[in-house]
C-alpha cells in the first residue's frame, strides 16, 4: 500500500474508534476505508482486518466505561459470553447469505430505530424505572447476545447502535450506561468473528495492528466525551450514525 493510503486508514481507524465508543457504528467509517484504500484485497480480508482493529477499540472503551459509568454486569457479561459464539456463527455464515437479501431488512430496522429515538425524545436521557422480571432480563441477554451478535459476525455495521437501543428499551437504561453495556458485548462479538477470520487466514495483521492502536486512541476519546457530556450528546451522535447508515445502505441497494 502507498504511504498516503496507510495514513488515511489510520485516520479512519481513529474516527471509527471514537464513533464506536460513543454509540457504535464505527464500521461505517473503517470498513469502507479498508475496501477503498486497498482495493486489491478480498472482501473477507477487509472484514477480518476491520474486526482486528475494532476489538482493540471496543475492549479499550469497555475498560473506560467500567471505570466511570455503571454497566449492568449481570446482563452484559453473560450476553458477551453468548456473543462470542453467535458472532463466530455469523462469520461462518457470512459467505452463504446474500447481502442483497439483508440490506433492505437492515434499512427497515434502522429507520425504526431512528423513528423511536425521534418520537420519544426522553428515551435514554435519564434511566427509566422498569420492572426487571425474569422474562425481561432473559430478553436483555438473549437478544444482544444471540441475535445482534450473529448479525455482527454476518454483516457488522450498526451493531453498537442496535445494542444501545436494545438496552435502552428493554431495561430503561440511559444512553451512557447502555453504551457501557454495548461495549462489553461488542468486544465479545468482535472476538468471535475475529477467531473465525484468523483461523481462515483472512486477517491483514500488519495494517490491522496499526489501525488497532489508532482505534484505541479514538475509543478512549469517545468514551470520555460520552461520559462527560451525558445522554443528550450520545443521542445526537446516535441519530447521526443511524442516518448515515441508512443513506449508505440505500445507496448500495438502489444506486451502486
pLDDT digits (tens, 9 = 90+) for 141-181: 999 999 999 988 887 777 888 899 899 999 999 999 999 99
Share of residues in the chain with pLDDT > 70 (%): 95
What is the pLDDT, as a whole number, of residue 132?
Answer: 85
Q: Mean of the pLDDT values across residues 210-228?
A: 95
First to last CA, the chain: 25
Q: Could you read off the pLDDT of 65-87 as tens digits, one per residue?
A: 998 888 999 999 999 999 999 99
Please count the residues of the chain: 256
pLDDT at 96 over 80: no
Provide the domain limits for residue 164: 3-254
CB of 51 within 8 A of CB of 193? Answer: yes
* Residue of higher predicted confidence among 230 and 157: 230
How is residue 211 written as a grid cell?
A: 489501525
Mean pLDDT, residues 88-98? 79
Tell me the C-alpha distance between 231 and 158, whole Å: 19
HEC sequence for the chain: CCHHHHHHHHHHHHHHHHHHHHCCCCHHHHHHHHHHHCCCCCHHHHHHHHHHHHHHHHHHHHHHHHHHCCCCHHHHHHHHHHHHHHHHHHHHHCCCCCHHHHHHHHHHHHHHHHHHHHHCCCCCCCCCCCCCCHHHHHHHHHHHHHHHHHHHHHCCCCHHHHHHHHHHHHHCCCHHHHHHHHHHHHHHHHHHHHHHHHHCCCCCHHHHHHHHHHHHHHHHHHHHHHHHHCHHHHHHHHHHHHHHHHHHHHHHHHCC
Q: Is the dihedral of CA 130, 181, 64, 30 positive or negative?
A: negative
Q: What is the mean pLDDT of the segment spanning 123-147?
A: 88
Residue with cell 500500500: 1
pTM of the model: 0.86
Dihedral, 4, 204, 91, 10 alpha carbons, nearest 10:
-30
- CA–CA gap between residue 125 and residue 231 (Å, rounded): 5
How many structural domains are present in the chain? 1
Residue partners of 141: CB distance under 8 A and separation at least 6: 75, 78, 79, 82
Amino acid at each position: 500500500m502507498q504511504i498516503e493510503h496507510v495514513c488515511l486508514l489510520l485516520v479512519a481507524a481513529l474516527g471509527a474508534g471514537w464513533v464506536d465508543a460513543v454509540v457504535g457504528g464505527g464500521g461505517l467509517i473503517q470498513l469502507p476505508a479498508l475496501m477503498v484504500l486497498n482495493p486489491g484485497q478480498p472482501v473477507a480480508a477487509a472484514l477480518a482486518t476491520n474486526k482486528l482493529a475494532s476489538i482493540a477499540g471496543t475492549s479499550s472503551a469497555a475498560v473506560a466505561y467500567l471505570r466511570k459509568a455503571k454497566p449492568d454486569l449481570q446482563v452484559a457479561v453473560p450476553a458477551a459470553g453468548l456473543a462470542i459464539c453467535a458472532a463466530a456463527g455469523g462469520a461462518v455464515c457470512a459467505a452463504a447469505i446474500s447481502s442483497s437479501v439483508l440490506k433492505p431488512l437492515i434499512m427497515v430496522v434502522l429507520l425504526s430505530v431512528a423513528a423511536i429515538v425521534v418520537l420519544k425524545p426522553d428515551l435514554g436521557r435519564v434511566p427509566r424505572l422498569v420492572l426487571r422480571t425474569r422474562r425481561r432480563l432473559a430478553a436483555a441477554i438473549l437478544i444482544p447476545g444471540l441475535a445482534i451478535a450473529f448479525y455482527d459476525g454476518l454483516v457488522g455495521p450498526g451493531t453498537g447502535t442496535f445494542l444501545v437501543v436494545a438496552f435502552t428499551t428493554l431495561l430503561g437504561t440511559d444512553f451512557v450506561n447502555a453504551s457501557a453495556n454495548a461495549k462489553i458485548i461488542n468486544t465479545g462479538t468482535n472476538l468471535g468473528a475475529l477467531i473465525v477470520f484468523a483461523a481462515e487466514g483472512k486477517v491483514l495483521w500488519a495494517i490491522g495492528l496499526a489501525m488497532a492502536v489508532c482505534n484505541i486512541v479514538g475509543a478512549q476519546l469517545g468514551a470520555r466525551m460520552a461520559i462527560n457530556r451525558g445522554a443528550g450528546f450520545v443521542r445526537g451522535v446516535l441519530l447521526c450514525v443511524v442516518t448515515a447508515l441508512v443513506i449508505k445502505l440505500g445507496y448500495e441497494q438502489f444506486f451502486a
